[in-house]
Amino acid sequence: MTRYSSPVWHPFTQHMLEPVTKKIIHTEGAYLIDEDGRKILDLISSWWVITHGHRYPAVMQAIRQATEHYDQIIFADYSHEPAEQLAQELIHIAPQGLAHVFYSDSGSTSVEVGLKMALGYFHNRGEKRSKVAVMAGSYHGDTIGTMSAGERGVFNAAYGALLYDVATIPFPAEGREQQTLDVFEQLCRHGDLAALLVEPLVLGAGGMKIYPAYVLRQLKSIAEAYGVLLICDEVMTGWGRTGTLFASEQAGITPDILCLSKGITGGALPLAATLCVPKIFEAHLSTDRSRTFYHSSSYTANPIACAAGLANVQLWRNEPVLQRVHNVQAMQSRGLARFKDDPRFENIRQCGTITALDFKTQSGGYLSDIALRLKAFFRAHNVLLRPLGNVLYLMPPYCVTEQELQQGYQLIDEAATLLQCGKL
Ligand SMILES: *Cc1c(COP(=O)(O)O)cnc(C)c1O
């Protein structure tokens, strides 16, 4: 029998094995403060959503102000200023050529919307293209549709019967980039491919796997040559994580469809936006109602969330956020440097503000209980780090200090030592 007595069922949690969750009663900057008054250093930005820091003043102020005017407003037949302004701003800062913004409320829905836009585009043009290609090792969300596009494994084994087939291109590992491009081109030649869905530069939940920008650029040119749409899922990589506002910028491309969520409100409220190029919107524009884009969720374009999003975009313009990103990037490099020739680790890597390294273990994989033991160790030291199997990564909010980062790396070092002598 489980000791767990709360009715709350937590995500990605095995309640039989994992400790009862402490309640967080306050957040501030890089910290969560729990009911016992412990300050927990959040080095994974609360699952990658918090960019500037917890309860960043300008965002919280915008939320307070918006609540004086708005709650949820139906978004068909009606609009509101926060959604209109945020859309303008997103178009302005996104890679050039994206012209329309569709709102939803999570990363998963932003990807679902992107997939539906792509299939709707070909359907409305009378072209028989409905296959989707994805990159091996990807993660695009936990709905049935996005799980189908993501890597298959223990996370979705129970739901396999409901998942649709996708074509897969190999991850462009170092030295095998050309193979990825070749497989993609072969898939394109079949003529039934609607879209390639990828996480640009970094595969997040798949283990922080990094690939070079030129591969993304070439995937885009191949897609273009065969009339295949490119969907960039920047739910994790967006808002500075990779060292630029959006990762696509580093490849110098404009995706046909761009999915944004997580940091879009600085992490304060749930919101997502799927941006697309004009031809996709226009393929749905018709006096024939059957060509309508039939998608909505109740909380589409929540005005308070949009106001938080607007405050976030204004922050990027009015404060030196990119400079902070570059500082975090440099601090991260310095933190990681101590492990450069460390035989206990492999695949030491960094992309922008994200660093990752793999513990060398016999039993890898997400279910190896090394992750649980590590997590508990970090937790006991008031640091929030959640290894993905044997992959350790740091994705801090941009308010993090060098000292705080060093605390994280020091703990990783200690954990490795304890692991080695069997004490963890
Ligand atoms: C987190 C994530 C998602 C899913 O976002 P949710 O808000 O959890 O639905 C999709 N794609 C990527 C790349 C992500 O990192």
For the stretch 147-193, pLDDT in tens is: 999 999 999 999 999 999 999 999 999 999 999 999 999 999 999 99
Cα distance between residue 7 and residue 28, in whole Å: 27
Q: Which domain holds residue 246?
A: 59-318
Last residue of a domain, one of 283, 318, 353: 318
H or E, element range at 202? strand 202-203
- Burial profile 20-56: b = 16 or more Cβ within 10 angstroms, e = fewer: eeeebeebebbbbebeeeeebbbbbbebbbbbbbbbb
CATH number at residue 331: 3.90.1150.10
- Evaluate whether residue 295 is within a structural domain: yes
State if residue 52 touches ligand 1 by the CB under 6 angstroms criterion: no
Residues 295 and 411 in one domain: no
Where is the domain boundary, 266, 294, 318? 318
In what side-by-side order are the strands of the sheet with 193-198?
100-104, 272-276, 257-260, 229-233, 193-198, 131-135, 167-169
Please give the number of the atom of ligand 1 that sits closest to the Cα of 109.
9
pLDDT at residue 1 greater than cutoff 50: no
Find the mean pLDDT for residues 366-378. 84
Nearest-CA residue for ligand 1 atom 11 is 140
Q: Are residues 188 and 227 in the same domain?
A: yes
Residue 264 has pLDDT above 60, yes or no: yes
259 alpha carbon – ligand 1 mean position (Å): 10
Q: Are residues 166 and 243 in the same domain?
A: yes
Distance, in Å, from the CA atom of 30 to the CA atom of 42, rounded to the nearest integer, reads 5
Q: Is the CB of 139 under 6 A from ligand 1?
A: yes
d(CA 185, CA 325): 35
pLDDT 10s digits, 82-125: 999 999 999 999 999 999 999 999 999 999 999 999 999 999 99
pLDDT for the residue numbered 18:
84
Looking at residue 137, what is its pLDDT?
98
Tell me, yes or no, whether 361 and 416 share the same domain. yes
Q: Among 285, 219, 288, which residue's Cα sits nearest to residue 256?
A: 219
pLDDT tens readout for residues 292-309: 999 999 999 999 999 999
129/268 same-domain check: yes
Domain check: are 160 and 209 in the same one?
Answer: yes
Q: Is 231 in the pocket of ligand 1 (CB under 6 A)?
A: no
* 280-296 confidence digits (pLDDT tens): 999 999 999 999 999 99
Task: Please check whether residues 186 and 231 belong to one and the same domain.
Answer: yes
Are 161 and 286 in a shared domain? yes
Q: Indicate the Cα dihedral angle 105, 266, 412, 351, nearest 10°.
A: 90
Which one of 260, 285, 318 terminates a domain? 318
**Pairwise CA distance, residues 187 & 92, whole Å:** 34
What is residue 109's predicted lDDT score, i.e. its pLDDT?
98
Closest CA to 142 of 130, 125, 159: 159
Are residue 130 and residue 78 in the same domain, yes or no?
yes
Q: Whose CA is nearest to atom 8 of ligand 1?
A: 107
Distances (CA, A) of 3 to 14, 18, 37, 210: 12, 10, 23, 40
In terms of domains, do 301 and 335 share one? no
Give the mean pLDDT of the chain: 96
- Is residue 247 within 8 A of residue 201, CB to CB? The reply is yes
Percent of the chain residues past pLDDT 90, beyond the cut: 92
Residue 122 located in a structural domain: yes
Biggest alpha carbon–alpha carbon distance for the chain:
71
Q: In the predicted model, what is the mean pLDDT of residues 136-157?
A: 96
pLDDT (tens digit per residue) in 39-68: 999 999 999 999 999 999 999 999 999 999
* Total structural domains within the chain: 2
Which SS3 state, helix, strand or coil, does residue 200 take?
coil
The residues that bridge with 132 in the sheet, in sequence order, are 195
Domain assignment present for 264: yes
84 within a domain of the structure (yes/no): yes
Cα–Cα distances (Å) from 258 to 91, 197, 202, 253, in that order, read 11, 10, 15, 11
What CATH number does the domain containing 93 carry? 3.40.640.10
Shared domain check, 255 and 362: no
Same domain, 327 and 284: no
Q: Is the CB of 107 under 6 A from ligand 1?
A: yes
Residue 22 maps to a domain: no
> What is the per-residue pLDDT for 367?
61
